[in-house]
Amino acid sequence: STVTTIGYSSQGYTGTIPTEFGLLTDVTQFDVGYNELTGNLPTQLGRMTKIVTAADYGFLSGNEHDGATIPTELGALTGMTYGGYFIYTSKLEGTVPSELGRMSVMASRFHLNNNKLNSTIPTQFGQLNQMKSYFHLVSNQFSSTIPTQLGQLVQMITTFVLYSNSFCGGVPTQVQALSNGVATWDITTGNSIGTM
């Protein structure tokens, strides 16, 4: 029979994420979060292009991927719509691939928070303009300025948060305008907004 759901969250699994998951191209729900998995995130996961949602609220979160980066191939999961793109609290480092901006039907729960991601937020994230709720990039090491393109997320109604990074400069007018319609909007806390 065809496997359509992988739901292995909170099972105490150790070791690395099997690259063979990439062979299961009919999977629509995927979750290996909140285990003790280590090593790199397999690039082969990008072949699972039918994934629509996490089976729970883990996806790839809450593991121990010390020093690993987010592979560009994960931007191929363009069918994900809601509940959600969770890769938080996993000790990931490095830059965020601009390819993640291809997930333009994502409507809710885009979480990359509580890692050690650095450099800048990709301008391509402005293409995530179907987002309505829970855009979380908090508690990383993003620096430089906030991209103006994030102001294109005009459908946001709740929880747009970028606090506790290392941003400098001002908040772009377009991004500031989102605060008028978003229930929880916080960019400035823990950043050096207003300085260069």
Hey, what are 37's tokens? 């998995």
Residue pLDDT tens, the chain, 196 long: 689 999 999 999 999 999 999 999 999 999 999 999 999 999 999 999 999 988 777 899 999 999 999 999 999 999 998 778 999 999 999 999 999 999 999 999 999 999 999 999 999 999 999 999 999 999 999 998 999 999 999 999 999 999 999 998 889 999 999 999 999 999 988 887 755 4
Burial of 7 (0-12, 13-18, 19+ CB in 10 A): middle
Q: How far apart are the C-alpha atoms of 101 and 139, rounded to whole Å?
A: 20
pLDDT at position 196? 42
pLDDT at position 193? 75
Other Cβ atoms less than 10 A from the Cβ of 97: the count is 17
Residue listed under structure tokens 């993003």: 142
Q: Confirm if 96 and 118 have CB atoms less than 8 A apart.
A: no
pTM: 0.94
Other Cβ atoms less than 10 A from the Cβ of 176: the count is 14
Show contacts of 144-147: CB within 8 Å, 24+ apart: 144/119, 144/120, 144/168, 144/169, 145/120, 145/169, 145/170, 145/172, 146/121, 146/171, 146/172, 146/175, 146/187, 147/120, 147/121, 147/122, 147/123, 147/172
Residue listed under structure tokens 């293409």: 127
Polymer length in residues for the chain: 196
pLDDT tens digits, one per residue of 81-129? 877 899 999 999 999 999 999 999 999 999 999 999 999 999 999 999 9
